[in-house]
Chains A and B, each alone.
Chain A
Amino acid sequence: MSIWEYANPKKFMQTSAWALPWAIGLTVVSLVVGLVWGFFFTPDDFRQGSTVKIIYLHVPAAWIAINAWLMMLVASLIWIVRRHHVSALAAKAAAPVGLTFTLIALVTGALWGQPMWGTWWAWDPRLTSFLILTLFYLGYIALWEAIENPDTAADLTSILCLVGSVFALLSRYAVNFWSQGLHQGATLSLDKEENISNVFWLPLLVCIAGFTLMFVTLVLMRTRTEIRARRLAALLARERVA
């Protein structure tokens, strides 16, 4: 069996129909466990007080914001190289989900920043690169909507995705490139000295798993809708010709 089998829309629809209920169930369980654990059963931070509870939304949302774009990059590269329509539609389906999580990261970051830094916003490297990533998401969605021919739209949005990937990676590594700015260093690190305490780290991991599963669920669902919409357009075109 090859992974390219899933490039066949019929095979994708069959497999995703089987996987979706599992994905929904696992998403709900992991989100409930992670958020209830984090919100109700973790202590306040000695410096940040109860605002540390925002970490269970902010970090997973930022994680998805960056990785959604990287998933779109992989799907776009598959489209460019192998011309598989399902991969182009999966990238299109992922963009509004990625945008939503980017907005969550920005909004929760501003709400967290105000009491901690004394400002809602600063032109800090990570914040600025996230704002640019948001604009790339908006541009990507607008470009899909603006072009009538789906193959041309997939080609041009794939190129835009390649360019935007620079900012997705920059968002991830901005805190490492530049030491200036208000934003703290990486929250998730393999370095035990840098890493946050296990009291916060374990529920955070569950929340990250929950957000990742929610992203997968939404992308599967939305890709199925895009495949149906493509079939609808083909049937309507056939009607017009007949």
Chain B
Amino acid sequence: MPDLGRYAFAVIASYAASAVLIAGILGLSFWQRARVRRALDEVEARQQGKTDG
């Protein structure tokens, strides 16, 4: 770990805040992706069932 001296708070806080914001957009994107895929699979399976049955 480099010696950040008296600016340690500013540097560490910048990296931490950026990590939190990037984790937020990644989490949101993966959550939306999973939710839409699950719903689409359900509807497609239901409509396929109607067509076959």
Contacts and interface: CB of A to CB of B under 8 A. Distances in A.
A binds B: yes
Interface in A208-242: 214, 218, 221-222, 224-225, 228-229, 231-232, 235-236, 238-239
Given A50-B5, A50-B8, A232-B36, A108 B14 contact: yes
Contacts of A154: none
A51 B36 contact: no
B21 A104 contact: yes
A100 B36 contact: no
Contact of B29 (A57, A104, A108, A225): A225
Interface in B1-15: 1-8, 10-11, 13-15
Interface stretch (A3-11, A109-117, A178-186, A196-204): A109-117
B47 to A, nearest CB: 6
B22 A228 contact: no
Interface centre among A96, A111, A238 (most CB of B within 10 A): A111
Contacts, number: 91
Contacts of A232: 36, 39-40, 43
A115 B36 contact: no
Contact of B36 (A53, A58, A107, A229): A229
A231 B40 contact: yes
Interface in A69-111: 96-97, 100, 103-104, 107-108, 111
B28 to A, nearest CB: 7
A112 to B, nearest CB: 6
Interface in A98-148: 100, 103-104, 107-108, 111-112, 114-115
A50 B25 contact: no
B18 A218 contact: no
Contacts of A112: 10, 14
Interface of B: 1-8, 10-11, 13-15, 17-18, 21-22, 24-26, 28-29, 32-33, 36-37, 39-40, 43-44, 46-47
Interface of A: 39-40, 44, 49-51, 53-54, 57-58, 61, 96-97, 100, 103-104, 107-108, 111-112, 114-115, 214, 218, 221-222, 224-225, 228-229, 231-232, 235-236, 238-239
